[in-house]
């Protein structure tokens, strides 16, 4: 047997600085500050509710279109940084398809593999929601609930951005 599926090379890691460290997170507005164990508690709550609404969801990743992780609630051994990068790659391909076919902006893409699904949803022009699920997941139900979650996440991210701008 030969093929790309046999290769298990980890994805390269991206950093924002030459030192290999990420900048410290900005303080959150009081409405999002809650449990500081999770960088964005209100966002974490939305991700948790999606996992509870859809049986078979193993977890969610909120990441930037640049492939950098914002936060996650994965319940598997999948590296959330890898999943954020894969979501951005999926977005890039979907975006090009939309442009070339004249079908408009990226909304959602789903990949089905032998053991499960990866669905990526547009949250905002800067953020993506990636959902990992087992093969038995009800994909139609996921597609019904996830866009509403993505909309609420966009609002929460806007609050974070607005609050950060108010402190500048």
- pLDDT digit string (tens) for 20-78? 444 444 443 443 333 344 456 888 889 999 998 999 999 999 999 999 999 999 888 88
Nearest Cα neighbor of 78 from 130, 28, 128 is 130
121 or 14, greater pLDDT:
121
Least confident of 63-77, 87-101, 141-155: 63-77
Mean pLDDT of all residues in the chain? 81
pLDDT at 42: 85
Chain centre to alpha carbon of residue 155: 15
φ, ψ (nearest 5 deg) of residue 157: -65, -35
Q: Does the pLDDT of residue 8 top 80, yes or no? A: no
List CB contacts of 120: < 8 A, sequence separation 6 or more.
87, 90, 91, 94, 108, 109, 110, 128, 129, 130, 131
User: Is the pLDDT at 168 greater than 80, yes or no?
Assistant: no
pLDDT at residue number 27: 45
Q: Tell me, what's the pLDDT at 159? A: 82
In a domain, 12, yes or no: no
The alpha carbons of the chain give a radius of gyration, in whole angstroms, of 16
CA angle (67 as vertex; 13, 155 as ends), nearest 5: 140
The whole-angstrom separation of Cα 36 and Cα 39 is 6
Q: What confidence score (pLDDT) does residue 10 get?
A: 61
Per-residue pLDDT at 143: 95
Q: Domain for residue 15, yes or no?
A: no
What is the pLDDT, as a whole number, of residue 142? 96
pLDDT at 22: 45
d(CA 57, CA 142): 9
Is 13 a domain residue?
A: no
- Identify whether 152 is part of a domain: yes
Residue 25 lies in a domain: no
Residue 130 is assigned to a structural domain of this protein: yes
The CATH number of residue 60's host domain is 3.30.450.30
Residue 18 has pLDDT above 70, yes or no: no
**Backbone phi, then psi, for 145, in 5-degree steps?**
-90, -40
Q: Give mean pLDDT, residues 107-130.
A: 96
Token pair for 138: 């009800």
The answer to whether residue 6 sits within a structural domain is: no
Mean pLDDT along residues 131-157: 94
Entry field: residues in the chain: 168
Range(s) of the domain holding residue 70:
37-167
Residue 10 lies in a domain: no
Q: How many domains does the chain have?
A: 1
State phi, psi for 140 to the nearest 5 degrees: -65, -40
């Amino acid at each position: 047997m030969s093929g790309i599926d046999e290769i298990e090379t980890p994805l390269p890691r991206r950093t924002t600085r030459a030192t290999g460290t990420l900048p410290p997170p900005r303080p959150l507005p009081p409405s999002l500050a809650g449990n500081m164990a999770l960088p964005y508690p209100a966002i974490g709550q939305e991700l948790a509710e999606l996992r509870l609404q859809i049986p078979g969801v193993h977890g969610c990743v909120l990441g930037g279109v640049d492939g950098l992780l914002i936060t996650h609630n994965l319940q598997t051994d999948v590296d959330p940084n890898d999943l954020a990068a894969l979501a951005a790659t999926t977005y890039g391909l979907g975006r090009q398809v939309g442009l070339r076919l004249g079908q408009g902006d990226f909304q959602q893409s789903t990949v089905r593999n032998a053991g499960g699904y990866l669905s990526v949803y547009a949250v905002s022009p800067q953020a993506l929601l990636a959902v990992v699920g087992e093969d038995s997941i009800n994909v139609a139900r996921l597609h019904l609930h996830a866009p509403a979650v993505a909309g609420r996440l966009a609002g929460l991210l806007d609050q974070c951005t607005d609050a950060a701008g108010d402190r500048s």
